[in-house]
Amino acid sequence: MNKKLLQRRDTGFRLKLIGNIKDRMLSFLLMLFLFTCAGSAKAQEKITGTVKDAGGPMVGVGVQLKGTGVSTLTDGDGRFSITLPAGQKGVLVFSFIGYTTKEVPVSGTQPLQVTLVESSSDLSEVVVVGYGTQRKQDLTGAISVVKATDVKKRQATTVAESLQGLATGIRVRGGGQAGSEAQIQIRGLKNFSGTNPLYVIDGLVTTANRDFNPADIESIQILKDASAAAIYGSRAANGVIIITTKRGAEGPTKIDVSAKTTLQTIPRYDLAKTEEFSRLNFMAYDNAGATRQNLDLSVNTDWQDEAFRVGQVQDYSMSFSGGSKDATYFISAGYFGNKGAVISTDFDRINFRVNTKSTKGIFTIGENLAISNAKTDEMSGNPIIDVVRMLPTIPVYNSANPGGYGYGDEGRARTFGSNPVAIADLDDRTNENLRIRGNLFSELQFLPSLKYRISLGYETSRDHFTYLRKEGNWTLNQAYDPAIFNENRGESSTALIENTLSFTETFGKHNINVLAGQSYQRDNYAQIWGRKRNILANPAGGYYEVLDQGNEPQTGGFKNRTDLISYFGRFEYNYADKYLVNGVIRTDGVSRFGKDHKFGVFPSISGAWRISQEEFFKTSWINDLKLRANYGTLGSSNIGPYDYIAFINTFPTIVMGPGQAVQPGSTQVQLANPDLRWEEVTQQNYGFDATVLDNKLTISAEYFISKTKDVLLRYPLLTSTGNDGGNPYVNGATLGNRGFEFTATYQENSNPFKYSVTGNLTTLRNKVIDLGYGKNRTFVGNTVTEVGRPIGMWYVLQTDGLFQNAAEVANYKNAAGKVIQPTAQPGDIRFKDNNGDGAITNADKVIAGNPWADYELGLNFNASYKDFTFSMDWFASFGSLVFNGPRSVTDMFSDNTNYRAGIQPWTPENPNTDVPRAFYGSTINSRGDTDRWLENGSFARMKYIGISYNLPDDLMKKIGFRNAQVTLSGQNLITITKYSGLDPEFSNNSIFEKGYDFGAFPNLRMVSVGLQFGF
């Protein structure tokens, strides 16, 4: 980056501030005072010197005598001269935007030689914006930059998981399970077809799934608004996450090694033991007038002990990097092994990466190549629910059952819960992916201002899934199955060719940057599968897991292809670093739409005004202030490759005739909308960035309004259409999102105790503006999505306490005097008869709350003192109402499950409770469509806490190391919430029921020890 561009003429006025963090307001007043008295200082002693950075002399650096108004600037050669009042020995403060402020005591030695170091997160930082870079100060769109160090410090399988709380406007949920991938959502639900943003890794459009090693990351930029993401036009509607991997730097070979080991524990339910369980179970049976079951009271199984264990992660990586002036290289290898916190779950990944780049004259060529192999031993069943549904009176093993495992029994333990130990053994799934991801790029710098770049990208993965179903049962009354083996191999590939031409020129105060490009991408996927039954058992144990064995073969396979052709251009204009204008246009053509709808055009325009550059802007405590505004359109075609075509299902077969001969059938099963077209998001974004208080406090705020029209959604069709196989996509709804994002970072680096604090706040309101097919609302499960409200509002019956006695039942009447719940008994739930018809029906359901958080907060604290560094991240979410699915199981009593320890169902002796009477065999008190299961989903969680010790430099030198660090850290150790489920930070795949905890795999508590060193 050309340092000249950083020059400022108005540096002087902001040097007057004294860095006392404890008393900002006082400082402000003091500063005003200093302004007035500066002129009265008398010249007595002259100090001279030069200021430079790694690249040479620096122009315009502010030099100030600490605690006074005495100041000056460096000249064109980096020289300065300052006159001190008589007798003053003081300290000189050197400051320059983008650089760490330095204090130098005035000593006898002259001239002073001062070297400034660039500060890490500052305006001069280069931000990758897609097909190019911009300085942070020139940005006109909403882009969050996440530092690799912040991502790396957490123990995460995928990148998304480690981003939570580090940037505004993003919502991350999930992870935890060995090999699982987190969900990430940028600026709210803009559509119904998925929320995954577009990932661009080293220019290659891809996914940062579990195959990707987060240790290779150099930087992450999150493009949130239309102007920022528009260069990726199509598919950018959900935002773009740009990941740049590490490259070598000029210098001798550097070797970096890191090793981390982590212990994981899973949160647990507090469930009844046999004594409490049997007492409650008998109560539920007695209340229902049913004969008690013959529970085996001699057994007391803790199913959580059986299904859960302490998980372990081993994460090792090593890299070699270096290079000469003309060529650099970066080579890394990594291993990540996770023994899951649930039995029989594992994840193993190995990674290799080679990034190189060489330059000769006007010609540059480089490549990024990553190879990874990831293997997961997948979880079978859902142990999160199974540990609740299995009774403590059931033994883990029972030799009388096929397969030898204990499970429900009609007379002794009537439950259809699955034995998690049995299912882990008998139902075995593995998933392995070999992925090769790379690109080759070449640049020709025809002229200093004109550069051509071609990039060829290729990514392929070989996926291998196996499923072995061993003979044996895991649940009561299970259908007989022999040993079955299923093997499934898939192959995906993405090929990408991109040509870009960029032109950069400065005409006086006018800076122009123009980019034009073209891109072609082809995605292929193909899969074959085979299945056999009666797999041969191996006398030595297990089975011969090959498809040669067994009988009754079945096979299948399919393939898909999508093509995308794009043309794009960007125009950046910068006048005197004050006025910034940015225009982007991209047109995309995709094979997923019918012939009249393939192309979409996505323009955006944005501008920024660095008001602090203006002459009239003389507010000395503001170092930099930029106002931004933009407007743009993005597209989405997040549907299947052939969804616009109605096709014939040729699979139905029938048998006819004496020999039951199999005959083919063909029919249309799924309807299709041939006129599918691009979904379009238009966004407005208004924001400002400010750097104040001597560059110590940076503030960023954004307000955005987005509107998605022609949303591609699978709108629930009427059953009477006869459609099946999923509702067909339609460009149906219009959705709106509005949000406010605020980030503030305060950093203090001038004392030995250095620290920074970042707080961020995100609010988001989504609203359905229009629904498809002219409908006003649609119902899914316990939710309603209707025009004018957020997606998926809870729509349930309202409970109104419990009936305490027969008189209350008899007196609970509607206006016409009709007894509303005539069959209710004391201890039963009283429901609100909202329509006043004297009966509790579906018509009494009302909108009972919002599953979306009102606001989310992130707080990151980093500090260092001498050789210690400390870091802590908090994340909090407030105001959501969520459905506790597991509690609707433990508290129902209508079916046999284990119960919450300490639950107090209503009894005549114990009427002061909110739990209705226990009643087996009827859902009167346990129906799932009531507000009984809705809970406050607010929480605050310490996502990360860590302390590191850097081994002292002198020791390093002795042993020949460049650096070495030991880190002790913890994740998810503290959670503050009223939510009674395992984890308020749950995720599910439902669009309309986002607030429903279906028994989601919880986030794990983790404690890690890490060692990092380089030489």
For residues 444-463, which are near another protein according to CB under 8 A? 444, 454, 456
Interface with another protein, residue 720, by CB under 8 A: yes
Shortest Cβ 636–another protein spacing (Å): 17
And the tokens for 38? 């500066």
In the complex with another protein, which residue's Cβ is closer, 39 or 659?
A: 659
Which CB atom, from 554 or from 805, has the smaller least distance to another protein?
Answer: 554
Q: Provide, rounded to whole angstroms, the least separation between the CB of residue 195 and another protein.
A: 24
What the block records as the tokens of 934 is 């809705």
Alpha-carbon gap, residue 469 to 378, rounded angstroms: 13
Question: Residues 25, 661, 815, 816: which binds another protein (CB under 8 A)?
Answer: 661
Q: Identify whether the C-beta of residue 167 lies closer than 8 Å to the C-beta of residue 657.
A: no
Query: What distance in Å separates the CA atoms of residue 578 and residue 576, rounded to the nearest whole number?
Result: 5
SS3 state of residue 667:
strand
Least distance (Å) from another protein to the CB of residue 591? Answer: 4
Binders of another protein in range 114-173 (CB under 8 A): none
User: Is 1009 among the residues that bind another protein (CB under 8 A)?
Assistant: no
Do 397 and 404 contact (CB within 8 A), yes or no? yes
The three-point CA angle 154-158-162 to 5° equals: 35
**Which residue, 36 or 660, has its beta carbon nearer to another protein?**
660
How far, CA to CA in Å, does 219 sit from each of 71, 118, 196?
37, 17, 19
Pick the binder of another protein from 33, 35, 363, 865 (CB under 8 A): 363
C-alpha span between 171 and 169 (Å, rounded):
7
User: Which CB sits closer to another protein, 81 or 554?
Assistant: 554
The binder of another protein chosen from 102, 190, 598, 696 (CB under 8 A): 598
Q: Is 336 exposed, middle or buried, given 0-12, 13-18 or 19+ CB atoms closer than 10 A?
A: buried
Please count the other Cβ atoms lying within 10 Å of the Cβ belonging to residue 820.
20
What would the two tokens of residue 386 be? 């199974």
Helix, strand or coil, per DSSP, at residue 832? coil
Stretch touching another protein by CB under 8 A, among 163-171, 265-273, 669-677, 877-885 = 669-677
Say whether residue 562 binds another protein (CB under 8 A): yes
Confirm or reject binding of residue 725 to another protein (CB under 8 A).
yes
One residue of 773, 801, 955, 1009 binding another protein per CB under 8 A: 773
Ramachandran region of residue 460, left (φ > 0), alpha (ψ -120 to 50) or beta? beta
Task: Considering only residues 291 through 350, tell me which ones interact with another protein, judged by CB under 8 A.
Answer: none
* Length of the chain counted residue by residue: 1015
Could you tell me the smallest distance in angstroms from the CB atom of residue 789 to another protein?
16
Q: How far is the CB of 304 from another protein (least distance, A)?
A: 22
**Contacts to another protein from residues 464-483, by CB under 8 A:** 476-477, 479-481
Among 922, 955, 959, 989, binds another protein (CB under 8 A): 922
Query: CB 642 → another protein: shortest distance, Å?
Result: 4
Residue type, 588: D
Beta carbon of residue 776, minimum distance to another protein (angstroms, whole number) = 9
Is residue 1002 within 8 A of residue 384, CB to CB? The reply is: yes
- The answer to whether residue 821 forms part of the interface with another protein (CB under 8 A) is no
Helix H or strand E segment including 654: strand 653-656
Residue 650 binds another protein, judged by CB under 8 A? yes
Q: Should residue 595 be labelled a site residue for another protein when binding is judged by CB under 8 A?
A: yes
894 touches another protein by CB under 8 A: yes
Q: How far is the CB of 661 from another protein (least distance, A)?
A: 5
Do strands 855-865 and 846-849 pair parallel, antiparallel, or not at all (unpaired)?
Answer: unpaired
Residue closer to another protein by CB (options 497, 761) is 497
Query: Is 467 or 979 the residue whose CB approaches another protein more closely?
Result: 467
Q: Should residue 647 be labelled a site residue for another protein when binding is judged by CB under 8 A?
A: yes
Q: What whole-number distance in Å separates Cα of residue 857 and Cα of residue 873?
A: 11
* Max Cα-Cα span within the chain: 118
Part of the chain binding another protein (CB under 8 A), chosen from 26-34, 42-50, 183-191, 652-660: 652-660
Q: Which of residues 715 and 939 has its CB atom nearest to another protein in the complex?
A: 715
The single residue among 76, 87, 289, 658 that binds another protein, judged by CB under 8 A, is: 658
822 contributes a contact to another protein by CB under 8 A: no
Q: Please say whether the beta carbons of 718 and 779 come within 8 A.
A: no
Q: What is d(CA 784, CA 777) in angstroms, rounded to the nearest whole number?
A: 7
- Footprint of another protein on 683-702 (CB under 8 A): none
Nearest-approach distance from CB 801 to another protein, in angstroms: 20
Under 8 Å between Cβ of 280 and 274: no
CA contacts within 13 A on the Cβ side of 748: 16
**Residue in the structure block whose two tokens are 């210098």:** 251
Hey, what are 435's tokens?
């992925």
Based on the shown chain and the rule CB under 8 A, indicate whether residue 489 belongs to the binding site for another protein. no
| Distance in Å, CB of 654 to another protein, minimum | 4
Q: How many chain residues touch another protein (CB under 8 A)?
A: 98
Rounded distance between C-alpha atoms, residue 9 and residue 59, angstroms:
10
The single residue among 649, 910, 963, 989 that binds another protein, judged by CB under 8 A, is 649
Nearer to another protein, 461 or 925 (CB): 925
Supply the minimum distance, in Å, between the C-beta of residue 908 and another protein: 24
* Per-residue interface string for the shown chain with another protein, residues 775-794, x marking contact by CB under 8 A: x-xxx---------------
Interface segment toward another protein; rule CB under 8 A; list 7-15, 29-37, 79-87, 552-560: 552-560
Torsion angle, alpha carbons of 902, 903, 909, 914, to 10: 140
Q: What is the 3-state secondary structure (H, E, C) of 727-760?
A: CCCEEEEEEEEEEEEEEEEEEECCCCEEEEEEEE
Structure tokens at 463: 């996926």
Out of 105, 111, 251, 665, the residue judged to bind another protein by CB under 8 A: 665
Q: How far is CA 52 from CA 218, 334, 750, 897, in A?
A: 27, 39, 19, 72
Please select the residue that binds another protein; options are 652, 801, 908, 952, rule is CB under 8 A.
652
Q: Name residue 521's beta-bridge partners.
A: 496, 564
Q: Does 927 bind another protein (CB under 8 A)?
A: yes
- For residue 286, give both structure tokens: 């007695």
Q: Which of residues 403-442 bind another protein (CB under 8 A)?
A: 409-410, 414-416, 442
User: Whole-number minimum distance, CB 488 to another protein, in Å?
Assistant: 13
Residue 78's nearest CA partner among 98, 90, 93, 96 is 96
Contact stretch for another protein (CB under 8 A) within 73-81, 347-355, 504-512, 586-594: 586-594
Residues 6+ apart with CB under 8 A from 354: 329, 330, 331, 367, 368, 369
Q: Which of 365, 581, 761, 966 binds another protein (CB under 8 A)?
A: 365
Contacts of another protein in 76-115 (CB under 8 A): none
- Identify which of residues 172 and 771 has a Cβ nearer to another protein in the complex: 771
Residue the block writes with tokens 């500066």:
38
Min dist CB 475 to another protein, Å, is 10
Does 885 bind another protein (CB under 8 A)? Our answer is: no
Exposed, middle or buried, 606 (CB in 10 Å: 0-12/13-18/19+)?
A: buried
Q: Which of 57, 759, 911, 921 binds another protein (CB under 8 A)?
A: 921
Residues 509 to 528 in contact with another protein, rule: CB under 8 A: 518, 520, 522
Nearer to another protein, 120 or 842 (CB): 842
Q: State in angstroms the smallest separation of the CB of 558 from another protein.
A: 5
Nearer to another protein, 676 or 903 (CB): 676
